[in-house]
């Protein structure tokens, strides 16, 4: 019994999946490599008193609490 067509089909599918995944990888890499960092913005006005660190309740925090039903 000769199984050469079965093995040939499996080899073809293996090579096809390798080629497709390689092509997808090559398509994704340039967009990752060309990403540029955003420039750092220095504050223009220095405050006399430093801003308190830690938890601060602000508008976006209140919105989260409202949407999360806390």
**Could you report the per-residue pLDDT of 2-60, keeping only the tens digit for each?**
666 667 888 889 999 999 998 988 887 776 666 567 788 776 666 555 566 788 888 99
Residue 62 belongs to some domain of the structure: no
Residue 70 belongs to some domain of the structure: no
Residue 30 belongs to some domain of the structure: yes
Residue 9 belongs to some domain of the structure: yes
Residue 66 belongs to some domain of the structure: no
∠ CA 27-37-59, rounded to 5°: 110
∠ CA 21-22-23, rounded to 5°: 90
The alpha helices in 1-70, defined as continuous H runs, are 4-33, 59-67
**Model's pTM, two decimal places?**
0.36
Quote the number of domains for the chain: 1
**pLDDT at position 41:** 77
- Domain of 15? 1-35
């Amino acid at each position: 019994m000769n199984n050469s067509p079965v093995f040939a089909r499996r080899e073809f599918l293996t090579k096809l999946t390798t080629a497709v995944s390689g092509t997808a990888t090559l398509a994704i890499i340039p967009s990752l490599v060309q990403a540029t960092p955003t420039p750092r913005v220095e504050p223009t006005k220095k405050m006399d008193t430093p801003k308190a660190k830690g938890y601060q309740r602000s508008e976006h925090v209140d919105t989260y609490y409202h949407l999360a039903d806390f």
